[in-house]
Structure 1
């Protein structure tokens, strides 16, 4: 009797058809079927007998909805249908362990809203003939819908409360379209991005000060609240192989990926490989792309650096295109734990694996990856117990940057990106690390790199870290060159600034204090402040 009542309830919900994630689900007698109707939407039928079986089993599998898993048949419709049904019934999804799912180029996205166990299954994502390059293969999404709060016309840096109440904790994204920041300089120059910030509030509108508001907003032209899911969602396992596109090498980014748009998500044990990269190809925006969410952890995951291709940049000069396997955009509290990559982290044929914009509280822990990068700013970042490869650490932002118990293979320990003003408004802490300049190329080795002419308006005041603390750093700078002077703390940020006659239109706020404790070099040469003694003459060096 209980089963009959349940079925009647399900049928009652489904009599007029149930639209779910670009799908219409019905519950008629017969067999489970997946089709595509005239407007391109999935048409799914699940008979009551099968419904009862799925409920009793407690999960659904791709094979239940017609996936062949033979590595040849395009299974994306069956995969998307499985998730659509699972989302409607709040059931987990399990891939078939021995299956190889082929996913072709049709613009179908499987929406994930329940725990998903990819397990030992293999997935082949064929990008050689893609109909819509921006269509994610999987999108992790929330049942909760974003909304527009009213009554916020301006904001102040470090503001503690919004003066509003919310139905649940929310991620808040604010924009002032009338102010431009991150006005990029160099070969990829642009006119900047609208002033943007993201932060978390509780039900009472109290801002989480672990990731505070970092800008003054004299005007708020757009504000969006994205409710944060309290229940965690887990994605585990899966061996994914992308057959790379062979499109023209220009900035037409492919997003054939797993796009995470829900807060409180863990990805565990996933593997991603890339094959078929040739003489040309368009860049990728990240196989794991985390955006507009908070509290996301990627762990025990293996990724792949993408081959570097060149194109003509906005300044009319050849540039190498950034192409990523990890992307973090407008996201908070994102952690990468025990993550590695399939190719050599020091192989310069491959672009650095990670890029981010508008992030806060980013973490690498126990990772061996070719790059950490914050383009349009990060507020607070930590790298610990990790190894960074040939592209090292590239960052601009605010707050505290902590690097500890790690090894860096790069030209510098940290590169403050010159194209965004070489700015870090806050503190830099380096503890218990080893710095190994790439392949022993120690000539003009510097720990902190950047470039700032003072002649370009980036849309904000540019800072060097106010305080830099370096403890127990070993610099492996063995070099037999007679010209080698020993490592410098700072690169020559402005070779034209030789004396007080040089005038900056947009003054650079320089480091006030450097604390050095137990810094050693393999070469035996002492750490120098910089080749540009005038620029850094007022920096106070405290050695212990």
Structure 2
């Protein structure tokens, strides 16, 4: 009976781990062994006595599976093996505090499904010669399997419920590939992305209205439900250094990172540095890469802005390539708390540190970073108790965008991205803030910037924030030439729109009301509406 039980456990290990980067775990007598076949499959042998000891402790270390930690030997197989065994046995993983793990260019991803404490361990990720540039080094993965809910053929904006029963709370992703939105304009122009939305439902199909459905879906070409892991997973510590790639400067993004693909995750105390950047290189999609999940918190973490390189864009003109240390895609309720970066947040040679698409309820709290950004839309965002550098806040989206108790050092407080229509359908609230443009040779001060001709179809109606509230704002315009006319609320979004003769093919819906209370300037000059008084002539401004 005893041997039969051991055999059944062996079979269970193989079944559990086979889908985990093609890992096979056996339990033969002898010693712990880790080896990789020519086909890349990782074979791990852990004798029964060692398994019992590990389970009694409740945790394993990378050195248990052969990691040298000498900063020279490639330890990725040992690291991946450690996590594979820990996942199969629900054990915590710990780094060896004095170790420096070297990770070369092998296309091996360590799958994290249990609490991981990198501690004071260091990791060197060498990107100078990689087999697969978009293979994550670590991936936080769910033990849940996604599935296709049956009978959902359409959705309505703000729909409170879908008529499906679920096994528990689920993250729903819906796509209509027959509708294109976010049809980008400018040097990086494109044909848009398929209409996409993400939201959370409970077991009865009730939608969490804190992150509502934001589009009408006349049809749905694909829908997926991923059960949400309700047990928190924690990742702590670790000092990671990326040796930057030396590839050609073009849009071949590198994703050698910590990818989070599981809900209910906290990353605490991680440090990421970058070295080896030269006069050329391919961009990065983010070292902390959060996607297809919900309820993720990154806190007390130090990141690094990437050097900006240029290439030729889709319109045949030179463009600076976006390159990131933070990426958020198809994710909701994602928070960055007390996060900073290693390099100067006002140094324009480094690209803004964060980029996101299809996000909801994104938060910066207590952060000092070079940029907050939402490319293809965010529904509800908050920046509070933070300092943002030279690239400031760039966003388009819906809902409420709140900036409070913060210092903004960019060209504007909020830039509504022109390449996606300078659209924000909802409300903008700015309160208890300082705006101090740190950009050199700036000749004017503008709080809200953007550009919209009304002649390009972005795939949706474009809006300015319907209501804007600005309370207790101090504008430090002391570095601006004394002959300027004072700060403007709005930039000149369309210099051609100077009278009624200008016709928008795709009308841009303007702001209805602005409430100003205790807005002061260092220069003593009053806040104006805009250099383009005609375009904003119907905006109602209330000054308290």
Q: Are residues 1:86 and 2:86 paired?
A: yes
Aligned to 2:107: 107
1:4-38 superposed Cα distances (whole Å, 9 cap, x missing partner): 96x86454221586141121000000000001124
Aligned to 1:18: 14
Aligned to 1:332: 332
Q: What TM-score, normalized to structure 1? A: 0.98
Aligned to 2:402: 402
Q: Are residues 1:215 and 2:211 paired?
A: no
Contact 1:74/1:104, CA 8 A, preserved across alignment: yes
Give 1:187-202 correspondences, 5 Å limit.
187-202=187-202
Aligned to 1:62: 62
Whole-Å separation in 2 of the counterparts to 1:335 and 1:480: 35
Aligned to 2:315: 315
Q: Are residues 1:168 and 2:168 paired?
A: yes
Q: Are residues 1:420 and 2:420 paired?
A: yes
Partner SS state of residue 118, structure 2: strand
Partner SS state of residue 530, structure 2: coil
Aligned to 2:483: 483
Contact 1:440/1:478, CA 8 A, preserved across alignment: no
Whole-Å separation in 1 of the counterparts to 2:62 and 2:290: 25
Aligned to 1:244: 244
Whole-Å separation in 1 of the counterparts to 2:138 and 2:479: 49
Partner SS state of residue 18, structure 1: helix
Whole-Å separation in 1 of the counterparts to 2:470 and 2:308: 33
Whole-Å separation in 1 of the counterparts to 2:413 and 2:402: 12
Aligned to 1:178: 178
Whole-Å separation in 2 of the counterparts to 1:434 and 1:15: 62
How has the CA–CA distance of structure 1 residues 145 and 323 changed in structure 2, closer, same or farther, with 3 Å as cutoff?
Answer: same
**Structure 1 residues 23-32 or 480-489, which shifts more?**
480-489
Contact 2:416/2:424, CA 8 A, preserved across alignment: yes
How has the CA–CA distance of structure 1 residues 54 and 320 changed in structure 2, closer, same or farther, with 3 Å as cutoff?
Answer: same
Gapped regions of structure 1 (runs ≥ 5): none
Whole-Å separation in 2 of the counterparts to 1:105 and 1:119: 24
Contact 1:136/1:259, CA 8 A, preserved across alignment: yes
Q: What TM-score, normalized to structure 2? A: 0.98
Partner SS state of residue 483, structure 1: coil
Aligned to 1:268: 268
Contact 1:400/1:429, CA 8 A, preserved across alignment: yes
Partner SS state of residue 410, structure 1: coil
How has the CA–CA distance of structure 1 residues 479 and 409 changed in structure 2, closer, same or farther, with 3 Å as cutoff?
Answer: closer
Whole-Å separation in 2 of the counterparts to 1:54 and 1:147: 34
Partner SS state of residue 437, structure 1: coil
Aligned to 2:436: 436
Contact 1:170/1:227, CA 8 A, preserved across alignment: yes
Q: How far did residue 483 of structure 1 move?
A: 3.1
Whole-Å separation in 2 of the counterparts to 1:463 and 1:513: 13
Whole-Å separation in 2 of the counterparts to 1:9 and 1:97: 37
Q: How far did residue 243 of structure 1 move?
A: 0.1
Give aligned pairs, total.
540
Whole-Å separation in 2 of the counterparts to 1:378 and 1:207: 18
Whole-Å separation in 2 of the counterparts to 1:345 and 1:33: 46
1:445-492 superposed Cα distances (whole Å, 9 cap, x missing partner): 100000000000000000000000000000000146353010000000
Partner SS state of residue 534, structure 1: coil
**Structure 1 residues 440-449 or 230-239, which shifts more?**
440-449
Q: How far did residue 57 of structure 1 move?
A: 1.1
Contact 2:461/2:506, CA 8 A, preserved across alignment: yes
Aligned to 1:358: 358
Whole-Å separation in 2 of the counterparts to 1:159 and 1:67: 51
How has the CA–CA distance of structure 1 residues 479 and 337 changed in structure 2, closer, same or farther, with 3 Å as cutoff?
Answer: closer
Aligned to 1:292: 292
Whole-Å separation in 2 of the counterparts to 1:341 and 1:11: 50
Partner SS state of residue 536, structure 2: coil
How has the CA–CA distance of structure 1 residues 507 and 15 changed in structure 2, closer, same or farther, with 3 Å as cutoff?
Answer: closer
How has the CA–CA distance of structure 1 residues 248 and 152 changed in structure 2, closer, same or farther, with 3 Å as cutoff?
Answer: same
Q: How far did residue 441 of structure 1 move?
A: 4.6
1:418-468 superposed Cα distances (whole Å, 9 cap, x missing partner): 000000000000000000012465522100000000000000000000000
Give 1:226-245 correspondences, 5 Å limit.
226-245=226-245
Whole-Å separation in 2 of the counterparts to 1:439 and 1:370: 13
Whole-Å separation in 1 of the counterparts to 2:128 and 2:25: 32
Partner SS state of residue 438, structure 1: coil
How has the CA–CA distance of structure 1 residues 421 and 15 changed in structure 2, closer, same or farther, with 3 Å as cutoff?
Answer: closer
1:404-427 superposed Cα distances (whole Å, 9 cap, x missing partner): 000000110000000000000000
Partner SS state of residue 529, structure 1: strand
Gapped regions of structure 2 (runs ≥ 5): none
Partner SS state of residue 517, structure 2: strand
- Give every structure 1 segment of 4 or more consecutive aligned residues whose post-TM-superposition deviation is greater than 3 Å: 7-11, 439-442
1:56-86 superposed Cα distances (whole Å, 9 cap, x missing partner): 1110100000000000000000000000000
